[in-house]
Amino acid sequence: MYAQQNYNHPQNMRPHHSQSRPHSSAPPPVYGNSGSRHGHHQSYQAPPPPAGDAQLYQYFSAVDQDKSGSISVPELQSALVNGNWTRFDLDTVKMLMGIFDTDRSGTIDFKEFVGLWKYISDWQNVFRHFDRDGSGSIEGRELAEAMKSFGYNLSPAILTLVERKYASAITTGYGPPPGITFDRFVRACVVVKTLTESFQRADTDRDGWVQLSYEQFMSMTLAAP
């Protein structure tokens, strides 16, 4: 039986309260005028950031490689890496873009980026809290503990399916470790949340059983990120 509570926002997941920032492979910001010395080319000049956001705005400007004033999916993916320095999974990047691109422009501006940055930082604290062995990935028992604390009473069979679906490829010598890396962990939790909420809407009598048409089933599963 699923839980009734909505625990799947990072702030409701009892994270370990360490201060951290998302890892980044972005280059340091470029200072000075990037246009030609004769003034024939002028790059986009974004408005100054609100007070207190100067450092974050500096990072945003570094990620905005084409100086368009907004960040695209490729730019965002190039800036986000896991603790083992592997680049974020593209599907996770697209999911994050879909959540924070509130004006549906296909990119995120600085205001949207502020929300994205906090979201990732909160999730990093959650991830570190449940990565008990400090391996940089969430495995078996850690995944079960995380899901249970979020309010999702998943069976061992379902937990195994989640771990297999979102685990990094197992390699020898080089590459990501076995288990679920940070980026895939975030996506797995969001998918479990989305599917659970869809099921809850269909389970009007709250008995843990629903009758769905094929159309309803496909809509429910394909709506998950």
Q: How far is it, in rounded angstroms, from Cα 203 to Cα 200?
A: 5
User: Does residue 23 lie in a domain region?
Assistant: no
CATH number at residue 139: 1.10.238.10
- The amino acid occupying position 171 is T
* Structural domain that includes position 151: 50-222
pLDDT score for 1: 47
CA nearest 64: which of 109, 98, 112?
109
User: Does residue 128 lie in a domain region?
Assistant: yes
In the chain, the number of structural domains is: 1
User: Does residue 87 lie in a domain region?
Assistant: yes
Tell me how long the chain is.
225
User: Does residue 201 lie in a domain region?
Assistant: yes
Phi, psi of 81 (to 5 degrees): -135, 155
User: Does residue 20 lie in a domain region?
Assistant: no
User: Does residue 35 lie in a domain region?
Assistant: no
pLDDT score for 46: 56
Mean pLDDT by 10 residues, the chain (225 residues): 44 41 37 36 53 81 94 94 88 94 94 93 95 91 94 92 82 60 95 93 93 92 86
Q: How many CA atoms does the CB half-sphere of 155 hold within 13 Å? A: 3
pLDDT score for 122: 95
Largest CA distance in the chain: 72
User: Does residue 3 lie in a domain region?
Assistant: no
